[in-house]
Structure 1
């Protein structure tokens, strides 16, 4: 079993999260704009229909895990596996991975661990989560500036969404693109069409989201009240 030393603590692989609450909104955005945003990674976006890619905005309350409790926000894109070419569409979605473009957190230990172990683009930010109301809310600020304020309304139960297929996450740091094996077990999953309200602030990331052509309505939203996750060893691609 591989181990790593982070801030004087030994972290064993795979890293496990035993309990987390996850809220996600999936948006159809301009593929050309999304492609330009992640060009530095060498990866290509998956197009669900010609000219449209998928941007995922998510926030997570990590309650029990190997990297301690913390809050996280993510901005990610569905991408093709490295080296895949040809027509897109539904074939792209069946084999798509997730490229993590931005991943602010609110605790320094997970910041260093995420950067060191997997190359995740973690930054310290002020992440306010309100999860005990009918709407799940995340208010994200960085450097004292509002990035966004997003509300997600849980939908109908999705009892079949318990063991999700293993999914590859991709990261890029220090000129290296990495693949991170990632698995999720979900309890209390819900899904609904649309279901999100978002207000963008004046931070540069908010401007980047606006330039993607982020629509007023999400394609769909999902919430998971109890999630367990496993993150494997990163591999260069």
Structure 2
């Protein structure tokens, strides 16, 4: 059993998410600009020549080993340079609570920072505003709702820990899920923060490829392993 001691608390692996709501909005963006946001150990996975996918994930963790908190993930899909399994690389991962920020950085090497995140739900929508360092980054509205069951989906997240590439296996599933193809119901507004300018360099805002919602998401995150 692997454990970590974080701020006088013991975190036992795997970390379990017992209840969260989550939206993911997928955009097709410029692959060359995306590559500029990655360390040299990873390369973007192209969906077509010169294009790759970027996801913005909005997660409201209600019952989680790391506590209750809001999180916004800005994510590219990558593979290790030279070839390997396609997974995700989180470019920015702001959260609104300090313990998960420290745990995420120390256990997995996730680029968590403590920021301001506001969530407002409307009739069939969820709107999130991210402010970093007191400056507006983005406001994203996405469709909310669904009655499908999301099956278990195993995935890999790549990170750097002390400069060395690692892979973390995670699995998520849930209920109350829905998928909306295209950009229906999605609206992205960018602010003036440097992270907003990074997103603009990718070609955002633009129409979304699809969006997903899961009202009751569950997940497990394993111990990171170094890449050979």
TM-score between the two structures when normalised by the length of structure 2: 0.93
Structure 2 spans left out of the alignment, 5+ residues: none
1:235 to 210, 225, 228: 225
Report the 3-state secondary structure (helix = DSSP H, G, I; strand = E; otherwise coil) of the residue aligned with 1:84: coil
Match of 2:54 in 1: 55
Give 1:131 shift. 3.5
Contact 2:146 2:214 in 1 (8 A): no
Partner of 1:163: 152
Q: What residue is the counterpart of 2:165 in the other structure?
A: 177
| Structure 1 segment 97-108 matched on structure 2, within 5 A | 97-108=87-98
Q: Which residue of 2 aligns with 1:80?
A: 79
Within 1, Cα distance between the matches of 2:5 and 2:32?
40
Contact 2:126 2:142 in 1 (8 A): yes
Q: CA deviation at 1:171?
A: 1.4
Considering fraction of residues, name the structure with more strand.
2
The Cα of 1:157 is off from its aligned counterpart by 4.8
Question: In structure 2, how many angstroms separate the alpha carbons of the residues matched to 1:226 and 1:61?
Answer: 10
CA root-mean-square deviation: 1.6
Deviation at 1:41, TM superposition (A): 4.8
Q: How far is the alpha carbon of 1:236 from its aligned partner?
A: 1.9
Give matches, 1:1-237, under 5 Å: 1-38=1-38, 40-81=39-80, 83-84=82-83, 96-131=86-121, 133-154=123-144, 157-159=147-149, 161-164=150-153, 166-193=154-181, 194-195=183-184, 196-237=186-227
**Rounded Cα–Cα distance in structure 2 between residues aligned with 1:21 and 1:217:** 23
**Cα distance 1:156–1:81, how it changes in 2: closer, same or farther (>3 A)?**
farther
Are the aligned partners of 2:96 and 2:116 in contact in 1 as well (CA < 8 Å)? yes
Aligned length: 225
Q: Partners in 1 of 2:210 and 2:191 — Cα distance?
A: 22
Q: Deviations over 1:107-139 (max 9, x none)?
A: 010011000100000001000012364211110
Kept in 2: contact 1:70–1:106 (CA 8 A)? yes
TM-score by length of structure 1 reads 0.90
